[in-house]
Amino acid sequence: MKLPIADARTTWDYTRRLLRANRREFLLIAAMTMASALAGLVGPWLLGRLVDDVSTGTTAGHVRDLVLIAVAAILVRGVIQKVAQQRAMVFGETVFAAMREEFLDTATALPLSTVERAGTGDLVARTTNDIAKLQNAVRFGVPQLTVSVVTILLTVVACLVMAPLVAVAIFVGLPLLLAVVRWYLRRAPDAYQAESATYAALNGTITESVEGASTVDALDLGSRRNGRSDADIEAAYRAELRTLRLRTVLFPGVDLTFVIAPVAVLVWGGYLASQGTVTMGAVTALVMYTFQLTGPVWNLVYWLDEMSVAAVSLARVIGVRLVPADRVASDASPSSGDLEARGVRYAYREGHDVLHGIDLDLRPGERLAIVGPSGAGKSTLGRMLAGIHPPTGGSVTVGGVPLVDLPLEELRRRVALVTQEHHVFVGTIADNLRLADVGASDARLREALAAVDALSWVDELAEGLATEIGSGGAALTPAQAQQVALARLVLLDPDVLVLDEATSLLDPRAARHLERSLAAVLHGRTVVAIAHRLHTAHDADRVAVVEDGRITELGSHDELVAAGGSYAALWHSWQHE
């Protein structure tokens, strides 16, 4: 299951809305561009007049005046262009920043169940590759396209006004230009997308080979990995060839039209001038104008191409907004902190239940350990109990209200989940902790760290709580990162905590110590711990054994050991390890 992709209409509506929100600035830039394009028309026009005046006889003073005006026009144009370009860049950045913020809002509000089902890879690709492609298009593309279109239109209008009969010749190259560009644009998006896909594959293969170098060596997979890299390089080479072939048609094709147009204007204009229909000056001006079109037309072609690629990315980025919410908050409020699961079923894929009707009453303040074989459904149950996914059957309620009916903030205050996956954010240790409680004092942060046995190593860091961590800062070991995640949980202080192998990265002794000190701090809170180390179960008030999507045994450690079922077997074999 992939995240949705927006259709052309939605994409277009979004673009229009974005431009409309910044309409004043956009119109201002367009007006300045127009002024600069007009100033650019002055030079050739004066040159034309000069030709006419000189051929009919004029004074040196007049020539000097015309030249001075031309120089002034160039200066004025330069100044307007500078201001317009500056504003256009700021405009591009503003629009892009707004898009980015909106995307971040959408991405962070995305139902976790959807992200988990679609896999984080898709979302990450949209956040990185697609946004990067859009960045270029929005920052430079929109301003450049505006400049090109305005300049081309004004130049053509000027030609038509000045000498309509001669101006017709400008369009001689147009059919060829349109044909070549159309041919190219029809093939380019697919070809370039295929090209990026081959590079993505190549990157993947190389990264895997390097990261797994020792495994590759140990299993003697070297030649196989090399073979894969060669195949990927071959594919990338073919894709490159294909796009290169497209460019070998586009570039000469467009260039040819740039040769045809001025020549046509010169020949046709020369003929008309010899007939006395137009002046030589008008022909001179028009030839110059035709040359001046080269830059803007190239720009237009280039950016249309880039924009067609960016449109694909935009559709993918906007697509994220189309994910339907997986829950609607009601305003019911829980009457107590009791968590109850009734007949809970869950299927990641329709028709394949991984939980088959689970009933569980958590007594407030108790510590429940969930154990069982891998793949039995423990993590899935944990996610149900934390309200991450709405169950596909049955219900999980807190104080009588289904978890998924609670507003997200309320839900997180009541139940929180810590898994093996945790993230260190760029910032200080204190910043990382305050994500859970913005107003927490340093003393409170230290308490939380102490509760997860992390205070000693934090104090050993050069700047203690103020040490920068995350990418670019001090590197935490995975176990330390896990402790920071747990300390955050202590600060959040929810009624119910679900720990899914949350201490798995610590060594067994440290893990047990941490769990005990955590238990002391969390006294009175309900804790559900999914455990692969049985000492967690031993220390818990009750143990639930999950097998094949069902709770098969439930009771205290001593009861279950006495009962002699699977838990007893597990416990005995674990003790002899």
Residue 559: closest CA among 575, 537, 535, 529: 537
Q: How far out from the chain centre does Cα 314 lie?
A: 10
Residue 190: closest CA among 122, 125, 246, 232: 246
Binder to ligand ADP among 188, 376, 396, 534 (CB under 6 A)? 376
Residue 377: closest CA among 513, 525, 521, 500: 500
Binder to ligand ADP among 49, 228, 378, 533 (CB under 6 A)? 378
Query: What tokens does 16 get?
Result: 């229009």
**Which residues, other chains included, contact 153 with Cβ-Cβ below 8 Å and sequence gap of 6+?**
none
* Of residues 158 and 570, the one with the C-beta less far from ligand ADP: 570
442 sits near ligand ADP (criterion: CB under 6 A): no
339 sits near ligand ADP (criterion: CB under 6 A): no
Least distance between ligand ADP and beta carbon 113 (Å): 9
Q: Which stretch binds ligand ADP (CB under 6 A): 38-46, 101-109, 277-285, 368-376?
A: 368-376
Nearest-angstrom CA–CA distance, 267 and 441: 83
Q: Which stretch binds ligand ADP (CB under 6 A): 129-137, 297-305, 376-384, 430-438?
A: 376-384
Least distance between ligand ADP and beta carbon 500 (Å): 7
Buried b / exposed e over 194-213, threshold 16 CB at 10 Å, is: ebeebeeebeebeeebeeee
Binder to ligand ADP among 290, 379, 480, 482 (CB under 6 A)? 379
351 with 51: CB under 8 angstroms? no
Compute, in degrees rounded to 10, the torsion defined by CA atoms 29, 31, 34, 39: -100
* Of residues 261 and 544, the one with the C-beta less far from ligand ADP: 544
Nearest-angstrom CA–CA distance, 526 and 235: 55
Least distance between ligand ADP and beta carbon 376 (Å): 4
Stretch 405-424 residues interacting with ligand ADP (CB under 6 A): none
2 sits near ligand ADP (criterion: CB under 6 A): no
* Of residues 221 and 347, the one with the C-beta less far from ligand ADP: 347
144 sits near ligand ADP (criterion: CB under 6 A): no
Query: What tokens does 458 get?
Result: 């934090």
Provide the mask over 99-138, with x wherever binding to ligand ADP is found by CB under 6 A and - wherever it is not.
-----------------x----------------------
Nearest-angstrom CA–CA distance, 303 and 237: 25
HEC assignment per residue over 68-123: HHHHHHHHHHHHHHHHHHHHHHHHHHHHHHHHHHHHHHHHHHCCHHHHHHHCHHHH
Nearest-angstrom CA–CA distance, 443 and 449: 10
Q: How far apart are the first and last CA of the chain?
A: 41
* Of residues 147 and 368, the one with the C-beta less far from ligand ADP: 368
Query: What tokens does 66 get?
Result: 């015309």
* Of residues 199 and 348, the one with the C-beta less far from ligand ADP: 348
Binder to ligand ADP among 275, 374, 441, 575 (CB under 6 A)? 374
Least distance between ligand ADP and beta carbon 13 (Å): 33
Stretch 347-366 residues interacting with ligand ADP (CB under 6 A): 348, 354
Binder to ligand ADP among 44, 319, 377, 387 (CB under 6 A)? 377
389 sits near ligand ADP (criterion: CB under 6 A): no
Residue 377: closest CA among 344, 417, 339: 344
Least distance between ligand ADP and beta carbon 487 (Å): 24
Binder to ligand ADP among 380, 397, 503, 536 (CB under 6 A)? 380
Q: Which stretch binds ligand ADP (CB under 6 A): 216-224, 249-257, 375-383, 535-543?
A: 375-383
548 sits near ligand ADP (criterion: CB under 6 A): no
* Of residues 380 and 526, the one with the C-beta less far from ligand ADP: 380
Binding-site size for ligand ADP (CB under 6 A) equals 11
375 sits near ligand ADP (criterion: CB under 6 A): yes
Least distance between ligand ADP and beta carbon 501 (Å): 8
Report residue 271: phi and psi, to 5°.
-65, -45
Q: Which residues pair with 346 in a beta bridge?
A: 355
Per CB under 6 A, residues contacting ligand ADP are 116, 348, 354, 372, 374-380
